[in-house]
Amino acid sequence: MDNASVSAMLGALQDPAGLPAPAWLFQYLNVLTWAFHIAFVNLSLGTGLLAIIAFMRRHQPAWARLSVAMTGVAKIAVSMAIVLGVAPLLFTQTIYDPSWYTSNVLSAFWVIFFIFTLGIGYTLWFVFYFKNHDVSHAAKAPDTTVWWATAALSLLLFDGFIMHVLSYQGLFPQKWMQWYAPHGVPVMNGMGIHAFELSRFAFFIVMSLTMTGVFLLGYARYFRARSDFPADYLDLAHRLGVKTAYWGVALQLATGLLWAYGLPSYMQVFTQPLFWLTLVLIVGVALYARQVPVGGSALQAYSAMAFYALMALIVSVDREALRVAYLAPYHYNLASKPHVEWGAVIWFFATFVGVGGSLVAFYTTMLWKAGKVKGLYTADGTVSRLGDIAVLINWTWMASFFAIGVWAYVRNIGFAS
Amino acid sequence: MSELIGMYPTWYVPQIGTAWVMGIIGTIHVLASNTSVGAAVLFALLESRSVRENKPEIMQYIKKYGMFLLVFSYIWGSVTGPGIWYSVTVASPRGISALIHNFVWAWATEWVFFTVEVIGVYALVYTIGKIDPKTHLKITWTFVVSSIATLVLIIGILSFMMWPGSQRWYLTGSVFDAFYNLNFAAQLADRGFLMLTSAAVVGSIIVAAIPKGDPLRRDVGQTVAKLGITGLGGGALSFMWYVATLPPNALVILKDRLPDWFGHVDFRVTTFVPLATTSVLIGLYLFWVYLKPQAVRVPVAVGMVAILLVAGIWPEERTRESLRKPWVVGQYMYSNQVIGRDVPGLGIQDEVPIIAKDGLLKTAAFVPADLRVITPQNQMAAGRLLAVMSCANCHSINRDGPLRPLPQLLHGTTDVAMIQGFLAGPLAHGSVPYMPKIDLPAGEQRALATFLAAVNAGTVDAEGHLIARAAPSAAPLHTAVAQAAGVQTVKTKD
C-alpha cells in the first residue's frame, strides 16, 4: 500500500464520534498513566523473580524472610499493575483507535489467551503466596513449591510479550493488510503474531530489576523503624537493592542501545535530545542508588524511587514520541474530529483530584503509619481527619452524581422518544 | 474511488462465534464484580454492627470473606474486567470504539474508583485487628462507596448500549444525555439488588466454613440470608421497571421470552423458565440459610454459586445482549458494526446508503484488492467474506453451530435465487425487527446467496473450503423468504 492509501485507511478507521477533548490532553494522560502502569509491572516481575531466588536460599533466615516479603509485594503489585493498566488502555484506544483495534483483531486469539493466562498466572502466584507467606514456616517448605511461582512468573512474562506485540504491530499500518490477507486471502483466525522487537520488549522487562533495586532501598529504610526487623536482614535488602539496580541499569543500557540501533534511520534517534536525556536518567538511577548509605536518611532512600519514577516517565515519553514518528509518514492526525465537552473533562479531573487524591492520601498515610507499628495502631489526629475527609468527599461525589443525573434525566424526558 | 468505511478486519470463531467468547468472559466478570460490590455493602453493614454492639468476632467473618474476595473477585474479577474490553475489542472493534469515544471520561472516572477499590480492599482485609476499629470502619465505608461508584458508572454505559431513550442525545452528542438515559435508573436498581443476592450466595460459602456450633454462624448467616432475600425481592420488582424502560425492538424480542403477566404474550422457555427457576431455588436456599445456618455445608454453597453462574447470570446476560438487537450501541450502530442512522450531534452519518450504493466490498477498509470486484472466479470467496462481515457477529455459519446458525434459519435451502430474494427483500428493507438493515448491491447479494446456498448444500464449509463428497439432499424449502414475509419469528437456539 502506498502512503496515501494508508493515510486514507487510517482516516476512515478513526471513530466518527471524534474526540471529546483536545488530543494533547489524552496524549499527556496516556503518557502519565502508562508510567504508573509500567512501574507496577516492573515491581511485580522484579519482586517476583527475587521471591523465587530468595526462596531457593530460604535455609538462611534473612533470605527466607526476603522471599516471604517479596512474594507479598508481587501479589499486590500485580493487582496494581492490572488496575493501573486500564487507564493507558483507555487513552490509547481513544487517540490511536485504528492501531490498537487492528492489531488486536489480527492477533485476537492471543488477546483472549492473554486474559485467561493472566488470570491463571495470578492465581498460581496466590497459591505460591499461601504456601510462602509465613516466615516461621518458609524454611520448611518443599522445593517443589517454587514451581508455582515459576509457572506464574513465566505466564505473566508471556502476557507482557503479548502486550508488547499488540502495541508494536499497531505501529506498522502499511503492513496490516498484508498480515490480514496474505496472498489476497483473509486469515481470520487471529492466530498470527506478526511483529515484535525483542530488544524493545527486553528493555521494558529488565527495567524491573531497576525498579526492584530502588524499591529495596526504600523497603530497607522503611522497616528500620520496626524493632522486629533484624538489622542484618535490612542490610541484606539494602545491598541487594544496590546490586539489583546496577544490573537493571546495565541491562537497560544494553537492550536500549540495541533497540535504538534497530530503529528506522529517518528517525535519527542518536541526534534526539530525548534519547540522551533518557540515557542520562538511566545511568543516573544507578549512580544515585550507589551513594545511598546503609541506614541513611529517609530522603536519600526514597529519592532513589523518585529517580526511577522520573526515568519511567521519560521512557513513557520516548514511547509516545516513537509512535508519533512511526505514524508520521501517513500524516496520522490525532485531532481530526474534535467534539470537546468540557463538563465531562471537569467531571473526570474533579474525581481524579478530589476523590482519588483524598482516598489515596487517607489509605497510604494510614498504611504508612500503621506499618511502622508492631501490634495495634491507633490513628492519630492527621489520619483520623484524613479518614473523615475521605468519607465526606466520597459521599459528596455520590450525591453530586445523582444530582447531575436528575438534571440530565429530566432534560432527556422533555424530548419525545 | 468509493468512500471508505472504517470496518476493521474480522476475527472469525467457528461454531460458537465471537459472541459466546464475549459472553463467557462477561459472565465470569459479572459474578465476580457483582459479588464484590454486594460484599462491600455486606461488610459495611456487618462492621457497623460490630462496632456498635462491640462484637469483634464479626470481623473474623469479614476477614475470611475479604481474603476469599481477593482471589475470587480481585483476581478473576479484575482480570475479566479489562478482559471484557479485550474480548469486545477483537469481536466488535467498532462497537467498543463507539463506546470509548462517547464515554472515555466516564470510564476514566470509573478507573479512579477502581484504583481506590483495589487499594481499599487490601487495606480493609490486612488491617483488620491491626488498626483501631473506628478508623477501620472509615476504610470500609470508603471502600463500599467506591465499589458502588464503579457500579453506577458502568451502568450508564451499559444502559446507553440499549438505547438513549430520547432524541436529545442524537442532536447534542452530549455524554450526559447519553449516560443518564431512560434505561439507566431501572438497570441500576435491578443490578444493585441482584448484587446483594450474589454476595449473599457467595458469602454463604464463608458462613459454611465457620465451625459448627459457633454462634457467629447464626448471627452472620441470618444477616447474609436477609440481605440476599432483600436483593432477590428488590431485583424482581426492579426487573419489571427495567422492562418498562426498554425500546420497542427489545419488547418484540421479549415477547418471545416472558409470560403474559409480565405484560407480554407468548410464554417461551429460553429465558424466563431458567431465570424464574433459578430465582426460586436461590430464594429457597437463602431462606434455608436463614432458618438453619448451622446446617449449611460448603459443597452445597459452592453448588449454589455454580447454579447462580450457569442458570442465573448466563441466561440473564445473554438475554440482555439479545434484547439490543439489531443494535449494539445506542441504536445507531448495528450489531454487524455498520452505522445505521445519523447522529447529527456528533456528525456521524448513516452508512447503510453508502453500502447500498457502492457495496460493502468496495467501501470496507479491510478487503483484499482482488475481492473488491466480484467475478465468477472469486464469487464464493467474496460471498464468504460478506457472510463473515455482515452476519457472523450474531450467527454461526456452520450448519451445526450453536449461535442462531444461518443454514438452519434458511431451512437448508440450496436455492440461490430464493436466498437472494430474502436478502433483497426483508433484509434490504430492514423489515425484520431484530435484524440490521443490510442493503447490498445485487452483485454482492448474489455472491452472499451463492456462498450460503453452497454451505447448505454441503459443497463448501463455513471456512470457504470446497468439500469433495456429494452433498445430501436439501431440506424441504420452507424458505427464509416465506418466513420473513409472514414476519413469523424463527425460533432457534439463541
Q: What is the pLDDT of residues B196-209, one digit of tens each?
A: 999 999 999 999 99
The cell for A56 is 531457593
- Asked if B182 and A417 come within 8 Å (Cβ–Cβ), the reply is yes
Q: Which of the residue ranges A42-46, A115-119, A303-307, B52-56 has the most confident prediction, judged by mean pLDDT?
A: A42-46
β-partners of residue B460 are B466
Place of cell 462481515: B389
Q: Are A193 and A110 in contact (CB under 8 A)?
A: yes
- The CA-CA-CA angle for residues A37, B149, B242, to 5°, reads 125
More confident residue, B311 or B187: B187
* pTM across the whole model: 0.91
* C-alpha–C-alpha distance, residues A10 and B366, integer Å: 11
Count how many pairs of residues, chain A against chain B, have C-beta atoms within 8 Å: 316
- Asked if B90 and A398 come within 8 Å (Cβ–Cβ), the reply is no
β-partners of residue B343 are B348
Rg (Cα) of chain A, in Å, rounded? Answer: 24
Q: Are A88 and B82 in contact (CB under 8 A)?
A: no
Q: Spell out the SS3 assignment of B260-307.
A: HHHCCCCCCCCCHHHHHHHHHHHHHHHHHHHHCHHHCCHHHHHHHHHH
More confident residue, A66 or B267: A66
pLDDT at B470 exceeding the cut of 80:
no
Task: Provide, as residue numbers in chain A, all residues whose Cβ is less than 8 Å from the Cβ of B116.
Answer: 355-356, 359-360, 363
Q: Which of these, B253, B302, B254, B313, lies nearest to B278 by C-alpha position?
A: B313
What is the structure's pLDDT at B258? Answer: 55
Q: Which of these, B406, B409, B423, B439, lies nearest to B17 by C-alpha position?
A: B406
* C-alpha–C-alpha distance, residues A300 and A217, integer Å: 9
ipTM confidence: 0.94
What is the structure's pLDDT at B490? Answer: 35
Compute the average pLDDT of residues A134-139.
Answer: 81
More confident residue, B272 or B182: B182
Q: Are B199 and B38 in contact (CB under 8 A)?
A: yes
Residue A398: C-alpha distances to residues A394, B150, B152 (Å):
6, 11, 9
Q: What mean pLDDT, rounded, does chain A reach?
A: 94
DSSP, res A368: H
Q: What percent of chain B has pLDDT over 70?
A: 91
Compute the average pLDDT of residues B170-177.
Answer: 95
Q: How confident is the model at residue A252 (pLDDT cuts 50, 70, 90)?
A: very high
The cell for B439 is 442493503
Selecting from B98, B109, B145 the residue whose C-beta is nearest the C-beta of A347 gives: B109
Q: Are B388 and B455 in contact (CB under 8 A)?
A: no
Selecting from B104, B112, B180 the residue whose C-beta is nearest the C-beta of A408 gives: B180
Task: Give the minimum alpha-carbon distance from A225 to chain B in angstroms, rounded to a whole number.
Answer: 17
Q: Which of these, B338, B343, B332, B383, lies nearest to B364 by C-alpha position?
A: B338
A223 C-beta neighbours (distance < 10 Å), count:
17
* C-alpha–C-alpha distance, residues A348 and A249, integer Å: 36
What backbone torsions phi and psi does residue B325 show, to the nearest 5 degrees? -55, 145
pLDDT at B466 exceeding the cut of 80:
no
Q: How confident is the model at residue B3 (pLDDT cuts 50, 70, 90)?
A: confident
pLDDT at B484 exceeding the cut of 90:
no
Q: Which helix (H) or strand (E) element contains residue B95?
A: helix B93-126
Selecting from A18, A343, A417 the residue whose C-beta is nearest the C-beta of B165 gives: A417
The cell for A177 is 493488510
Residues 6+ apart with CB under 8 A from B292: none
The tens digit of pLDDT for each residue in A19-74 reads 999 999 999 999 999 999 999 999 999 999 999 999 999 999 999 999 999 999 99
Q: How confident is the model at residue B404 (pLDDT cuts 50, 70, 90)?
A: confident
What is the structure's pLDDT at B434? Answer: 83
* C-alpha–C-alpha distance, residues B138 and B123, integer Å: 11
Q: What percent of chain A has pLDDT over 70?
A: 99
* C-alpha–C-alpha distance, residues B77 and B222, integer Å: 27
Tell me whether B170 touches chain A (CB under 8 Å): no
What is the structure's pLDDT at B465? Answer: 78
DSSP, res B252: H
The cell for B365 is 477498509
- Asked if A115 and B86 come within 8 Å (Cβ–Cβ), the reply is yes
Compute the average pLDDT of residues B376-387.
Answer: 94
What is the structure's pLDDT at A295? Answer: 83
Task: Provide, as residue numbers in chain B, all residues whose Cβ is less than 8 Å from the Cβ of A26.
Answer: 104
What is the structure's pLDDT at B339? Answer: 97
CB under 8 A, 24+ apart: contacts of A300-304: A301/A217, A301/A218, A301/A220, A301/A221, A302/A218, A302/A221, A304/A214, A304/A217, A304/A218, A304/A245
The cell for A287 is 549512580
Q: How confident is the model at residue B492 (pLDDT cuts 50, 70, 90)?
A: very low
Best of B89, B99, B153, B182 to mutate (most A CBs within 10 Å, chain A) = B89
DSSP, res A293: P
pLDDT at B469 exceeding the cut of 60:
no
Best of A1, A2, A92, A188 to mutate (most B CBs within 10 Å, chain B) = A188
Best of B101, B150, B249 to mutate (most A CBs within 10 Å, chain A) = B101
- Asked if B127 and A367 come within 8 Å (Cβ–Cβ), the reply is yes
Q: Are B338 and B365 in contact (CB under 8 A)?
A: no
Selecting from B11, B100, B102 the residue whose C-beta is nearest the C-beta of A105 gives: B11
- Asked if A394 and B146 come within 8 Å (Cβ–Cβ), the reply is yes
Selecting from A190, A405, A413 the residue whose C-beta is nearest the C-beta of B90 gives: A190
- Asked if A106 and B89 come within 8 Å (Cβ–Cβ), the reply is no
pLDDT at B457 exceeding the cut of 50:
yes
What backbone torsions phi and psi does residue A372 show, to the nearest 5 degrees? -85, -5
Q: How confident is the model at residue B397 (pLDDT cuts 50, 70, 90)?
A: confident
What is the structure's pLDDT at B321? Answer: 81
pLDDT at A144 exceeding the cut of 80:
yes
* C-alpha–C-alpha distance, residues B359 and B373, integer Å: 10
Q: Are A111 and B84 in contact (CB under 8 A)?
A: no
Q: Which of these, A415, A417, A363, A416, lies nearest to A389 by C-alpha position?
A: A363
Rg (Cα) of chain B, in Å, rounded? Answer: 25
pLDDT at A416 exceeding the cut of 60:
no
More confident residue, B244 or B483: B244
- Asked if B79 and A118 come within 8 Å (Cβ–Cβ), the reply is yes
DSSP assignment string, A12-53: HHS-TT-BSS-HHHHHHHHHHHHHHHHHHHHHHHHHHHHHHH
pLDDT at B471 exceeding the cut of 70:
no
CB under 8 A, 24+ apart: contacts of A52-56: A52/A146, A52/A149, A52/A150, A52/A153, A55/A132, A55/A138, A55/A141, A55/A145, A55/A146, A55/A149, A56/A146
Best of A93, A95, A122, A372 to mutate (most B CBs within 10 Å, chain B) = A93
Task: Provide, as residue numbers in chain B, all residues whose Cβ is less than 8 Å from the Cβ of A9.
Answer: 4, 365
Angle of the A23-56 helix axis to the A198-222 helix axis, nearest 10? 70
Q: Which of residues 424-443 of B touch A (CB under 8 A)?
A: none
What is the structure's pLDDT at B479? Answer: 39
- Asked if A408 and B79 come within 8 Å (Cβ–Cβ), the reply is no
What backbone torsions phi and psi does residue B466 show, to the nearest 5 degrees? -70, 140
Q: How confident is the model at residue A280 (pLDDT cuts 50, 70, 90)?
A: very high
Task: Provide, as residue numbers in chain A, all residues whose Cβ is less than 8 Å from the Cβ of B23.
Answer: none
The tens digit of pLDDT for each residue in B199-238 reads 999 999 999 999 988 999 999 999 999 999 999 999 989 9
Q: Which of residues 179-198 of B touch A (CB under 8 A)?
A: 179-182, 184-185
Tell me whether B148 touches chain A (CB under 8 Å): yes
Residues across chain B: 494
Selecting from A87, A101, A367 the residue whose C-beta is nearest the C-beta of B123 gives: A367
What letter represents residue A366's amino acid?
M
Best of B15, B142, B143, B245 to mutate (most A CBs within 10 Å, chain A) = B142
Note the Cα A259 to chain centre separation in Å: 20
The tens digit of pLDDT for each residue in B337-375 reads 999 999 999 999 999 999 999 999 999 999 999 999 999
pLDDT at B17 exceeding the cut of 80:
no
Burial of B2 (0-12, 13-18, 19+ CB in 10 A): middle
What is the structure's pLDDT at B393? Answer: 86
Tell me whether B71 touches chain A (CB under 8 Å): yes
What is the structure's pLDDT at B251? Answer: 84
Task: Give the minimum alpha-carbon distance from B65 to chain A in angstroms, rounded to a whole number.
Answer: 16
Q: Are B290 and B222 in contact (CB under 8 A)?
A: yes
Reduced to 3 states (helix: H, G, I; strand: E, B; else coil), residue B328 is strand
- The CA-CA-CA angle for residues A224, A226, A231, to 5°, reads 50
Task: Give the minimum alpha-carbon distance from B175 to chain A in angstroms, rounded to a whole number.
Answer: 7
